[in-house]
Amino acid sequence: MAISEEEFLARLKPRRGQIKATITNQEFMAGIGNAYSDEILWAAGLHPHRRRATMDEDDLRRLYRSMRAVLEESITIVDATVQGEGLGKKEEWRQHLKVHRRAGEPCPKCGSEIRGQVRSGSETNYCLTCQPLFE
């Protein structure tokens, strides 16, 4: 990931809208799709519909570190899968997602049911216990 923590914060600070929409906006930053944004926000404990304007600097730093961790883990898994045998790349990739497309399943952190919302064809998944929404 080429972007530094400070640059990430500098880019995010002027934004005020919903955090998922912000980080998946390819003008903001390329490469974070719908599935990964759910994973990153879950890891950071931030609700996808939380507005950036309600988040403080600690939230943003946690978000950056979660983003790095999720993307680095996914690169490792995809590399291992390409070299290994058995499962197809796509299948293996889906298996390592912890909340995306897992509505109704227990959250791996707290056991609460994972929620799902579909909007214009793409699904957003989150855990309300780990990712409370306060406006």
Task: Give the residue, chosen from 110, 117, 118, 133, that forms a contact with Zn ion under the rule CB under 5 A.
Answer: 110
Cα 60–chain centre separation: 13
Using the minimum distance from each CB to Zn ion, give the nearer residue, 34 or 129: 129
- Between 29 and 107, CB nearer to Zn ion: 107
> Which backbone phi and psi does 25 adopt, to 5 degrees?
-70, 115
- Determine the interface stretch with Zn ion among 3-11, 22-30, 46-54, 111-119 (rule: CB under 5 A): 111-119
Residue 109's Cβ-count burial label (10 Å; 0-12, 13-18, 19+) is: middle
Alpha-carbon span 103 to 88, nearest angstrom: 23
CB-nearer residue toward Zn ion: 81 or 98: 98
Residues in the chain: 135
Q: How far is the CB of 55 from Zn ion (least distance, A)?
A: 19
Which of residues 23 and 43 has its CB atom nearest to Zn ion in the complex? 43
Instruction: Check binding of 118 to Zn ion (CB under 5 A).
Output: no
Kindly state whether residue 41 participates in binding Zn ion, applying the rule CB under 5 A.
no
User: By CB neighbour count within 10 A (0-12 exposed, 13-18 middle, 19+ buried), where does 44 fall?
Assistant: buried
- Residues that bind Zn ion in the complex, under the rule CB under 5 A: 107, 109-110, 112, 127, 129-130
